[in-house]
Structure 1
Amino acid sequence: MKRILAGLTVAIIAAAGGATAGHWLMHDNDAETAHAATPAERDAVARLWTAAVTNPDGKPQSLEMFKDHPVVINFWASWCGPCVEEMPALSQLHREYAKKGIEFVGLGVDSDKNIKAFLQKVKVDYPVYVAGFGGADIARAFGNTAGGLPYTVVIDAKGTVLSTKLGQIQPAELKRTLDAL
Structure 2
Amino acid sequence: MTSPSDRPESIPATSDAQPSAARRRLLYAGVAGAAALGGAGLAWWKFQPHAMEHGVEEALWAMEFEKPEGGVVALKSLAGKPLLLNFWATWCPPCVEELPMLNAFYRQQAPNGWQVLGLAIDQPSAVRKFLQRIPLEFPVGLAGLGGTDLGRSLGNLTGALPFTVVLGGNGRVLHRKMGQITPQDLQLWAPLR
Which of the five TM-score ranges fits, normalised by the shorter chain? 0.7 to 0.9
Deviations 1:76-132 (A, max 9, x none): 011111100001111111111111101011011112211111100102121111011
Within 2, Cα distance between the matches of 1:98 and 1:108? Answer: 21
Within 1, Cα distance between the matches of 2:132 and 2:88? Answer: 16
Counterpart selection for 2:53 from 12, 37, 40: 40
Gaps of 5+ in 1: 1-20
Within 2, Cα distance between the matches of 1:71 and 1:164? Answer: 12
Q: Does 1:105 align with 2:117?
A: yes
What is the CA-CA distance between 1:61 and the residue it aligns to?
Answer: 3.5
Counterpart selection for 1:89 from 101, 105, 110: 101
Gaps of 5+ in 2: 1-40
Identity value in percent? 36
Which consecutive segments of 4 or more residues in structure 1 shift more than 6 A? none
**Gap change, CA 1:28 and 1:179, over 3 Å in 2:** farther
**TM-score normalised by structure 1 residue count:** 0.75
**Gap change, CA 1:82 and 1:101, over 3 Å in 2:** same
Q: Does 1:152 align with 2:174?
A: no
Corresponding residue for residue 143 of structure 1: 155
Aligned Cα RMSD in Å?
2.5
Structure (1 or 2) with the larger CA radius of gyration: 2
What is the CA-CA distance between 1:174 and the residue it aligns to?
Answer: 2.3
Within 2, Cα distance between the matches of 1:61 and 1:127? Answer: 8
**Gap change, CA 1:103 and 1:143, over 3 Å in 2:** same
Matches within 5 A, 1:50-69: 50-69=62-81
The structure, 1 or 2, with the larger RCO (C-alpha pairs under 8 Å, 6+ apart) is: 1
**Gap change, CA 1:122 and 1:103, over 3 Å in 2:** same
What is the CA-CA distance between 1:57 and the residue it aligns to?
Answer: 3.6
